[in-house]
């Protein structure tokens, strides 16, 4: 505990501190008991990033609610031991990895925490003791720079986890940047594995429940044409994100899929590259709508979600209307 107090007295003049990747090691080393916390339904980017940080600097990896199927498969391959729904009590510091909105952390109440993320939401940055947040294509790219700038060599498993995170979040490099390709090349060399092995770590066939949900979402979809744009909306109570992505693959420019979970409504959205290039920002749209209805939301410009209260059909219509106003 004394390490945490020392950090506050030496480095923090307020509750908000943006730090560089090179500064992370000296800061986190002042805490003895660190939890690297992944968002709910943790994906390869979150798991690979948290696992590498814990391996390089010491600490424990945790996740809210559950892991995604592909995230669970990756954790088995790299040997990541992940605490599910850890208590927020008993840690000197919690480092939130790969999310910056409370929506993705469920009911956990953060007290002393840091943040490492590549999304551009500001929800959790305002109360973080320190944070690293920049628009990389994956959190794994940021974590890889943290390791390099602090002179930490990754194990083979750490490198594989980071590589899997980059592959996953860039859509197998369809949305990659120059930094993504450079990091991937360096990780392949550092880990001593080839690209095929990294792909195999992500090769998990969707189970039958996911396939059924996606097919139902497609069969229930309502399509609106606005000029040359196609906007799809559907309702399903599970796998909303996968269903929205499938609607894009089927030809929609923008897709919204809603599901009711208890007294809350979750809407996931995806957009085509064409819509994103036209300036459509789903992160901003869904964040605004979610907060307007007593919830929260965010994500990427072409993939986002929110969790709020309200009628699913009314919320879907609001999403469609907002997008129709913004598309050229």
pTM: 0.85
Categorize the per-residue pLDDT at 2 as very low, low, confident or very high, splitting at 50, 70 and 90. Answer: very low
For 171, the 3-state DSSP assignment is coil
What pLDDT, on the 0 to 100 scale, is given for residue 7? 38
pLDDT in tens, 72-116: 999 999 999 999 999 999 999 999 999 988 888 988 989 899 999
**Cα–Cα distance for residue pair 1/153, rounded to 1 Å:** 28
Q: Are residues 30 and 167 in the same domain?
A: yes
Residue among 102, 145, 137, 97 nearest 117 (CA): 97
* Segment 257-277 mean pLDDT: 94
2 or 34: whose pLDDT is higher? Answer: 34
pLDDT of 108-155, one tens digit each?
989 899 999 999 788 899 899 999 999 999 999 999 999 999 999 999
**Residue 236 and residue 294: Cα distance in Å, rounded?**
21
- Same domain, yes or no, for 292 and 180? no
Among the three residues 200, 216, 246, which one is the final residue of a domain in this structure? 200
Picking from 200, 226, 241, the residue at the C-terminal end of a domain is 200
Cα-based distances in Å from 205 to 34, 72, 164? 34, 13, 16
Tell whether the model's pLDDT for residue 275 goes beyond 70: yes
The pLDDT value given to residue 116: 98
My answer on whether 194 and 220 are in the same domain is no
CA distances from 317 to 107, 171, 256, 289, 321 (A): 28, 28, 10, 11, 6
Query: Which pLDDT belongs to residue 120?
Result: 79
What's the confidence (pLDDT) of residue 48?
99
- Of 66-70, 75-79, 81-85, 295-299, give the lowest mean pLDDT range: 295-299
d(CA 264, CA 314): 13
Residue 212 predicted with pLDDT over 80: yes
Q: Report the CATH number that the domain containing residue 146 is assigned in CATH.
A: 3.90.1640.10
Query: What is the CB neighbour count within 10 angstroms for residue 124?
Result: 21
Look at residue 5 in the predicted model and tell me its pLDDT.
36
Instruction: Kindly state whether residues 267 and 148 are assigned to the same domain.
Output: no
| pLDDT tens-digit readout, 227-258 | 999 999 999 999 999 999 999 999 999 999 99
Regarding whether 231 and 112 lie in a shared domain, the answer is: no
CATH code (residue 239): 3.10.310.40
Q: Tell me, what's the pLDDT at 269?
A: 97
In 3D space, the residue among 177, 196, 249 whose CA is nearest the CA of residue 218 turns out to be 249
Distance from C-alpha of 54 to C-alpha of 36, rounded to nearest angstrom: 7
221 and 182 housed in the same domain: no
Given a cut of 70, whether residue 60 has pLDDT beyond it is yes
- Of the three residues 166, 200, 234, the one that is the final residue of a domain is 200
Q: Do 141 and 214 sit in the same domain of this protein? A: no
What phi and psi values does residue 15 have, to the nearest 5 degrees? -85, 10
Is 65 in the same domain as 186? yes
Q: How far is CA 96 from the centre of its chain?
A: 11
Look at residues 316, 296, 302 and name the one whose alpha carbon lies nearest to residue 40.
296
Residues 136 and 93 in one domain: yes
CA distance 144 to 264: 36
Same domain membership, residue 195 and residue 119: yes
- The DSSP H or E segment spanning 116 is strand 113-117
Instruction: Say which residue, 3 or 276, is predicted with more confidence.
Output: 276
Mean pLDDT of the chain: 92
- pLDDT recorded at residue 16: 56
* Three-class secondary structure of residue 110 per DSSP: coil
- Of 249, 161, 242, 261, give the one whose Cα is nearest residue 201: 161
CA distance linking residue 124 with residue 99, whole number of Å:
8
- Neighbouring C-beta atoms of residue 91, cutoff 10 Å: 22
Q: What is the mean pLDDT of residues 279-296?
A: 94
As a residue count, the chain comes to: 328
Query: Tokens standing for 87?
Result: 């208590």
pLDDT band at residue 220 under the 50/70/90 scheme: very high
pLDDT of 202 higher than 50 = yes
* Predicted confidence band of residue 207 (pLDDT cuts 50, 70, 90): confident
How many domains are contained in the chain? Answer: 2
Q: Convert the pLDDT of each residue in 6-53 to its tens digit.
A: 333 334 444 459 999 999 999 999 999 999 999 999 999 999 999 999
User: Are 36 and 115 members of one domain?
Assistant: yes
Range(s) of the domain holding residue 264: 208-326
Domain match, 180 and 218 both: no
């Amino acid at each position: 505990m004394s390490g945490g107090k020392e950090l506050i007295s030496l480095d923090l003049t307020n509750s908000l501190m943006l730090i560089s990747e090179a500064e992370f090691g000296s800061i986190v080393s002042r805490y003895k008991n660190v939890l690297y916390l992944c968002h709910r339904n943790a994906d390869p980017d979150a798991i690979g990033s948290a696992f590498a940080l814990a391996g390089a600097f010491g600490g424990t990896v945790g996740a809210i609610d559950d892991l995604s199927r592909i995230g669970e498969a990756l954790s088995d391959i790299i040997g990541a031991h992940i605490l599910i729904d850890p208590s927020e009590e008993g840690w000197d510091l919690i480092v939130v990895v790969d999310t910056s909105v409370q929506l993705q952390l469920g009911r956990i109440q953060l007290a002393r925490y840091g943040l490492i993320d590549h999304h551009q939401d500001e929800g959790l940055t305002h109360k973080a003791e320190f944070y690293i947040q920049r628009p990389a294509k994956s959190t794994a790219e940021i974590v890889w720079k943290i390791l390099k700038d602090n002179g930490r060599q990754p194990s083979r498993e750490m490198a594989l986890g980071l590589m899997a995170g980059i592959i996953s979040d860039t859509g197998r490099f369809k949305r990659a940047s120059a930094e993504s390709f450079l990091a991937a090349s360096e990780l392949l060399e550092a880990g001593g594995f080839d690209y095929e092995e990294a792909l195999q770590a992500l090769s998990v066939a969707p189970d039958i429940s996911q396939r059924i949900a996606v097919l139902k979402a497609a069969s229930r979809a309502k399509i609106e044409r606005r000029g040359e744009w196609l906007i799809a909306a559907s309702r399903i109570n599970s796998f909303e994100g996968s269903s929205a992505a499938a609607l894009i693959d089927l030809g929609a420019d923008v897709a919204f899929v809603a599901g009711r979970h208890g007294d809350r409504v979750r809407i996931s959205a995806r957009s085509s590259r064409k819509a994103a290039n036209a300036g459509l920002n789903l992160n901003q749209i869904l964040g605004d709508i979610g907060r307007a209805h007593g919830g929260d939301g965010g994500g990427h410009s072409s993939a986002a979600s929110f969790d709020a209260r309200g009628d699913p059909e009314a919320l879907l219509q609001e999403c469609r209307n907002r997008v129709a106003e913004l598309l050229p």
